[in-house]
Amino acid sequence: MIVRKNQAELEKMRAAGLLVYQVLDTLKKMVAEGVSTLDLEMTAEKMIVAAGARPAFKGYANPQAGSKFPYVLCVSVNDEIVHGMPSEKKILKRGDIVSLDTGVQLNGYYGDSAVTVAVGEITPEAQRLLDVTRESLELAIEKVRPGNRLFDICGTVEQHVIANGFTVVREFVGHGIGTQMHEEPQIPNYVDRRNENPRLKEGMVLAIEPMVNAGAAGSRVKADKWTAVTEDGKYSAHFEHTVAVTANGPWVLTRP
Ligand code: MG
Ligand code: MG
């Protein structure tokens, strides 16, 4: 069942969403050559705790990993798709691309967002990967309107990515969000006709998150049981927003 939220609930989700935005905005500005991914983690945790929120990712149990995620931030560099772990040994260098993904729970409601940023100068192809992935999210957000269907979102991402010669990751998907970080429906970045195709209704809140590979679509999970990487070692980008369906169209809760 897809849980719909009333106006008061959406306002709470807005507060959670804005906190996630502030954290990611701060981290984006920190990203530079020589910074460790653990530096980013520590700043994120400080900001979330100072705001009176709970880091949603820390302690998140993944049955496939058989463990709890130990950090507040997923930081995925270059060929890492999602769920990369911060480390003091992982030092950013010029030419890297870095996905920053975090979530918070504030007053009972979750917000979840991700952005991929460049470290210094990157190749034109890497820049195009970032642009196309961000565009695919923006085009999908435009579909978040009452009366449209879930496949309008999935298909919009898929078509934009394929038209630009990249591929969508199939093993990881977006999701409904509310009092749980992961609610129904699942939101693949392609049309999966095995799934239902519900009509979008006012009050639904969706975390849409294209994960786009520069090369082949294949992914694998590393020995740490969390970090997903591309099979071919090529770059992958990830953008995400938490978006509410309203009578007036999409309300992106994770940006001002
Ligand atoms: Mg998410
Ligand atoms: Mg996320």
Taking the centre of ligand 1 as the mean of its atom positions, its distance from the CA of residue 161, in whole angstroms, is: 19
Only one residue has tokens 């496939």, namely 64
- Number of domains present in the structure of the chain: 1
Taking the centre of ligand 1 as the mean of its atom positions, its distance from the CA of residue 113, in whole angstroms, is: 7
Residue 244 lies in a domain: yes
Residue 2 lies in a domain: no
Please name which ligand lies nearest the alpha carbon of 207: 1
- Residue 162 neighbours by CB under 8 Å, 6+ apart: 168
What token pair was written down for 255? 């940006």
Amino acid letter, residue 138: E
Taking the centre of ligand 2 as the mean of its atom positions, its distance from the CA of residue 251, in whole angstroms, is: 17
One digit per residue, the tens of pLDDT, for the chain of length 256 reads: 999 999 999 999 999 999 999 999 999 999 999 999 999 999 999 999 999 999 999 999 988 888 999 999 999 999 999 999 999 999 999 999 999 999 999 999 999 999 999 999 999 999 999 999 999 999 999 999 999 999 999 999 999 999 999 999 999 999 999 999 999 999 999 999 999 999 999 999 999 999 999 999 999 999 999 999 999 999 999 999 999 999 999 999 999 9
Taking the centre of ligand 1 as the mean of its atom positions, its distance from the CA of residue 59, in whole angstroms, is: 15
Taking the centre of ligand 1 as the mean of its atom positions, its distance from the CA of residue 207, in whole angstroms, is: 6
Residue 174: name the closest of 192, 191, 188, 156 by CA.
188
Q: Is 243 left (phi over 0), alpha (psi -120 to 50) or beta?
A: beta
Measure the CA–CA gap between 76 and 142, rounded to whole angstroms.
Answer: 27
With beta carbons less than 8 A apart as the criterion, state whether 40 and 73 touch: yes
Residue 1 lies in a domain: no
- Residue 131 neighbours by CB under 8 Å, 6+ apart: none
State residue 29 phi and psi, 5-degree precision: -75, -20
Q: Which helix (H) or strand (E) holds 43?
A: helix 37-50
Taking the centre of ligand 1 as the mean of its atom positions, its distance from the CA of residue 112, in whole angstroms, is: 6
Only one residue has tokens 């095995």, namely 194
pLDDT at 64: 82
Strands lying side by side in the sheet with 80-82: 80-82, 228-230, 219-221
Please name which ligand lies nearest the alpha carbon of 176: 1
- Residue 167 neighbours by CB under 8 Å, 6+ apart: 161, 212, 213, 215, 216, 217
CATH of the domain at 49: 3.90.230.10
pLDDT at 62: 86
- Domain of residue 12 covers 7-252
Cβ atoms within 10 Å, residue 178:
23
